[in-house]
Amino acid sequence: MSDVEEQVSEDDWAAALSEQQPTDAVEAKPANIFEQFSESTDKSGAMHDYSMILDIPVNLTVELGRTHISIRNLLQLGHGSVVELEGLAGEPMNVLVNGTLIAQGEVVVVNEKFGIRLTDIITPAERMKKLNR
């Protein structure tokens, strides 16, 4: 962009900003949208109403295992290739929500569909310990 074009755009911004009314000229009234938060907290400040977040989508991942592989070996994979994973057969699988480990479980088959039976739920305290490592 040339200096002339930059000057024109800066002048346009200055003109637009000067046309705005000062914020103190209009008396702003606070919105009442946060009142429900104060009503749903107890004396300790903890919230008990989770209904506001129940429809937020998250990514749930069940991890069978991991491995490191070179690009050379990756390019050689084809239909029927077997990739060895670090996890052992019968070992619990990790359940992650948005990339954070929240539980472990075992594979089940129900009506010809795979599922996972949770066997161990990771507590928030355990998650914090893993973060500090």
For the chain, domain boundaries: 3-132
Spatial CB neighbours of 91, under 8 Å, sequence gap ≥ 6: none
Q: According to the CATH classification, is domain 3-132 in 2.30.330.10? A: yes
Spatial CB neighbours of 59, under 8 Å, sequence gap ≥ 6: 97, 98, 99
Beta bridge partners of 93: 105
Region 36-65: mean pLDDT is 74
pLDDT band at 58 (very low <50, low <70, confident <90, very high): very high
State residue 56's pLDDT score.
92
Nearest residue to 87 via CA among 110, 105, 112, 102: 105
pLDDT of 5 higher than 50: no
Higher pLDDT, 75 or 109: 75
pTM across the whole model: 0.53
Cα separation, 93 vs 104, in Å, equals 5
pLDDT of 105 higher than 80: yes
The helix (run of H) or strand (run of E) holding residue 93 is strand 93-97
Identity of residue 55: D
pLDDT of 77 higher than 90: yes
- List the structure tokens of 5: 């074009």
